Amino acid sequence: MLKRIFQIILAIGLITVFLISSTGCGDKNEDAKKRTLTISVPADSSHTQLTLQAFKNKFPDVELVFNNYDLDYAKYNQQISTQLLGGGAPDLFMPTSDFSPKLFDSGLLADFYPLMQSDPDFNEDDYYMNVIKSGEYCGKLFWFPSYFGHRPIAVNNLFSKSLAERYKSFDAINLRQLLDLYNSLPDKGGRYLCDPTAAISDWYTFIDFANKTCDFNNDYFIKYITDQKNITDPKKEISDHISKGKDFFNQWDISDFSDSNLQERYALEYIFKVNSGDTSYLSLLLPYANERAFTHFIPLADDKGSLITGLGDSFCISAASANKDLAWEFIKLFTNPDKEEFIQTLPTFFHPIRRDLFKATTTRILENTIEEKRKVEAIDGETSQIVEGIMAFLERCNDMPMVSPIRMVEIDRIIEETLTDFLMDLLTAEQAASILQNKISLYLTE
């Protein structure tokens, strides 16, 4: 009886081994015939579809597997993580905001620099390399952006002409300088610096990711958050501020001045407007904007003078991918559309990472905006001259040193919780700084 059971188990084992080995051989034969590039994205776009088509045209022998998660970010993040660990990750995938940059240390992602260096067709001068390198981590580049954007700051033009003039003397401005400008006002007219959601957002300048250290528990930071607290309206609940700030972001498109009541209400409360990814900040640069509430776009910088940039539609390559060369080719096509249709699909609030595309798209956007505005009001000067001036300013900004803050969900949560308690008077500035120092240094040393 036992002998028979043993024989059956042995037979099942042999059959399994045979099946597994034969399946493996089949795969190898298939691989020899056709290569497969797997791409996963949390959301599809017409630009992605056009790139897929262009890739198919350029590499007809390569089979493309495209996984679109239809905005199901939770499922996307969970599956990509599991696939990365299991070795079955797609060759190419887009990182999301929940994507932990701690992955950089895990060796699961490919470095882009060797791919760029070994590609004779890749010319660094064609790209804003300062932007690309802003996403560098410990000398390696784990994501490659397609677009980038500045953090535009506008001044309340209706409040004080002299303040607006002083503000305009900056090429780029950091939050500390904004606070100093605000504090220097003898009469603030009951207005606050800017909405708190915008102000409380750039803590990454206090973290050194390369050396895994942070510096929150010092007098500078304590004064910094104390000033930040003082610029928020003490009569209002912090939750009111946050929901209000969000409402403004969602409802008020700064290029659309039709809702003048909303604009006036905002202008009555704030000296500056700090926008994160405002879709139409270019309008702030148009000549007619001088007469509006918020005008004179200046990009937000960190304490070292590097512009804080947001990277859009980035791609990562799995370190396990056997098709890194193909994945790189796809990224080059994605960032370098050579057809008119591609330009039409580019998001206007980001600048393309390629210099030539930036010129083509931004020039067209500005021309269209000015022509549209001319239909309803008079604008001094030739369109081409206005556009040329704005483009020169933007190109100067684009060539400045850039920093792309690495956003870590866990750090965001720690900062938000601690500073909310501080703003609600439950913690002193010293206590908040000490808590941040302890928790974030713990996070970094793990």
Partner 1 sequence: MGPSVMTKKSVLKKFFKKEETVLMLFALPGLLGLLAFYVIPFLISFYFTLINNNVAKNFVGLHNFSELLSNEAFLLGLKNTAIFMAICVPVNMIFPLAVAMLLNKTVRMKSLFCLIFLLPLVIPSGSVAHFWKSIFGLNGVINGAFFAGAPVNWLDTQWCRSLITTIFIWKNAGYNIVLFLAGLQAIPKEYYEYAAVEGANALNKFFRITLVYIIPTTFLVFIMSVINSFKSFKEIYLICGAYPHQSIYMLQHYMNNQFSALNYQKLASAAYVLSIFIIALVFLFYRIQYKQAKNF
* Binding region for partner 1 (CB under 8 A): 1, 81, 84-87, 100, 102-103, 105-108, 318-320, 410, 413-414, 417, 421, 426-427, 431, 435, 438-440, 442-443, 445-446
Torsion from C-alpha of 222, 227, 228, 231, nearest 10 degrees = 160
| Least distance CB 311 / partner 1 (angstroms) | 21
| Least distance CB 391 / partner 1 (angstroms) | 43
* Distance, CA of 144 to CA of 147 (rounded, Å): 9
Cβ neighbours for 118, distance < 8 A, ≥ 6 positions apart: none
Task: Supply 293's token pair.
Answer: 């509430």
| Least distance CB 82 / partner 1 (angstroms) | 9
Output 155 or 433, the one with its CB closest to partner 1: 433
* Distance, CA of 218 to CA of 433 (rounded, Å): 8
Task: Supply 64's token pair.
Answer: 């493309």
Output 105 or 208, the one with its CB closest to partner 1: 105
**Strands of 161-281, DSSP E:** 207-208, 213-214, 272-274
| Least distance CB 99 / partner 1 (angstroms) | 11
Output 181 or 238, the one with its CB closest to partner 1: 238
SS3 assignment, position 222: helix
Output 311 or 440, the one with its CB closest to partner 1: 440
| Least distance CB 392 / partner 1 (angstroms) | 44
| Least distance CB 319 / partner 1 (angstroms) | 4
Torsion from C-alpha of 315, 98, 211, 84, nearest 10 degrees = -60
* Distance, CA of 175 to CA of 224 (rounded, Å): 9
Output 92 or 289, the one with its CB closest to partner 1: 92
CB 81 within 8 A of CB 293: no
Q: Which DSSP string corresponds to 318-345?
A: BTT-S-HHHHHHHHHHHH---SHHHHHH
Output 233 or 421, the one with its CB closest to partner 1: 421
SS3 assignment, position 210: coil
Output 363 or 438, the one with its CB closest to partner 1: 438
| Least distance CB 174 / partner 1 (angstroms) | 27
Alpha-carbon separation of residue 244 from 182, 201, 256, 274 (angstroms): 21, 16, 19, 14
